[in-house]
Amino acid sequence: MGRYTLYSIFLVVLVFATALFFTRNRWLPHIPVPNLGYVYQRLPSSFRGDMDAGLSSSAFDLSANVESGDSRQGLDDRGKREVQKIMQSRKVGFDEARRMYTEQRFARNNIGPDGRPRDPKFVSFS
């Protein structure tokens, strides 16, 4: 009898943990987390940090932004992550990764690599 009880408890805990895992987006934000101070705060993005991360080149130069004291937040965080992911996975440089990222975004928005819309109703007058 003890063996079945142990198996039953294990099964209930497993099902409960699985349910918690798959519903974590609903309940996790409601858990109070104490303020841990500056240690876990996200550092603000800046053009200096972007340059230090290798996200600058002669064709995409951020040094003018740094030298002029540009107070903006830097490059788009989502775009930076995607470009860095391409750089790491495909072993390419920043310019090539940026080109590939731009072409991927163009393709998602039904735009050709040359910058023209692929919409069959598109009319252009040159």
Give the pLDDT confidence of 23-58 residue by residue, as tens digits.
988 888 788 866 655 454 555 567 777 777 778 887
CB 98 within 8 A of CB 83: yes
Token pair 């996790």: residue: 28
Rounded to whole angstroms, how far apart are CA atoms 27 and 33? 13
Rounded to whole angstroms, how far apart are CA atoms 101 and 116? 17
Taken as a whole, the chain contains a residue count of 126
Alpha-carbon distances of 105 from 26, 69, 101, 109, rounded to whole Å: 30, 30, 6, 6
* Tens digits of pLDDT across the chain (126 residues): 678 899 999 999 999 999 999 998 888 878 886 665 545 455 556 777 777 777 888 788 777 777 787 777 777 888 888 888 898 899 998 889 989 998 999 988 888 888 888 888 888 787
